[in-house]
Structure 1
Amino acid sequence: MEIESGKTAELEPTVTLARLYEKQGFLNKALEIYRELIALEPERDDLRQALKGLEKRLGENTGDSSKLRAAKILSELELWKEAISKRKKMLHPGPEKEKKILVIYGNCRNSGTGQEQSLFAHVSFEEIEKEIRATARELGMKADTFQSGDEEKLAEQIRDAGDSYDVLIIDPGAYTYTSVLIRDALLKVSAPVIEVHVSNINRQGAFGKKPLITGAVTAQLAGFGKETYTMAVHAAANMSGEETRLQCK
Structure 2
Amino acid sequence: MPNVVYILNGPNLNLLGKREPEIYGHQTLDDVRDLCVAAAEEHGLQIIFRQTNAEHELVDWIQEAREAAHAVVINPAAYSHTSIAILDALNACPCPVIEVHVSNIHARESFRHHSYVSHRADAVIAGCGVEGYLLALRRIATLLESK
With structure 1 as the length reference, what TM-score do the two structures score? 0.52
Aligned residue among 48, 60, 77 for 1:173? 77
Aligned residue among 184, 190, 199 for 2:94? 190
Distance 1:210 1:139 in 2: 31
Matches within 5 A, 1:233-244: 233-240=137-144
Q: 1:203: how far off?
A: 2.9
Aligned amino acid, residue 182 of structure 1:
I
SS of the equivalent of 1:207 reads helix
Residue in 2 aligned with 1:146? 50
Q: Which moved more, 1:232-241 or 1:172-181?
A: 232-241
SS of the equivalent of 1:102 reads strand
Residue in 2 aligned with 1:220? 124
Q: State which structure, 1 or 2, has the greater radius of gyration over its C-alpha atoms.
A: 1
SS of the equivalent of 1:234 reads helix
> How large is the Cα RMSD of the aligned pairs?
2.5
Identity of paired residues, percent?
28
Compared with structure 1, are the counterparts of its residues 130 and 163 closer, same or farther at alpha carbon in structure 2 (3 Å cutoff)?
same
Distance 1:122 1:190 in 2: 34
CA displacement, residues 69-106 of structure 1 (integer Å, 9 cap, x when unaligned): xxxxxxxxxxxxxxxxxxxxxxxxxxxx4211110011
Residue in 1 aligned with 2:11? 107
Compared with structure 1, are the counterparts of its residues 179 and 226 closer, same or farther at alpha carbon in structure 2 (3 Å cutoff)?
same
Distance 1:152 1:173 in 2: 14
Question: Could you tell me whether the CA contact under 8 Å between 1:106 and 1:147 is conserved in 2?
Answer: yes
Q: 1:117: how far off?
A: 3.8
Matches within 5 A, 1:130-145: 130-145=34-49
Matches within 5 A, 1:31-46: none
CA displacement, residues 81-138 of structure 1 (integer Å, 9 cap, x when unaligned): xxxxxxxxxxxxxxxx4211110011244899xxx74265732211110110111001
SS of the equivalent of 1:194 reads strand
Question: Could you tell me whether the CA contact under 8 Å between 1:187 and 1:217 is conserved in 2?
Answer: no
Matched, 1:122 2:26: yes
Aligned residue among 104, 107, 117 for 1:203? 107
Distance 2:2 2:112 in 1: 41
Where does the alignment leave 5 or more consecutive residues of structure 2 unmatched? none
Question: Could you tell me whether the CA contact under 8 Å between 1:201 and 1:207 is conserved in 2?
Answer: no
Distance 1:235 1:209 in 2: 23
Aligned amino acid, residue 221 of structure 1:
I
Q: 1:194: how far off?
A: 0.2
Equivalent residue pairs, number? 144
Aligned amino acid, residue 202 of structure 1:
H
With structure 2 as the length reference, what TM-score do the two structures score? 0.86
Q: Which has the higher helix share?
A: 1
Distance 1:110 1:100 in 2: 23
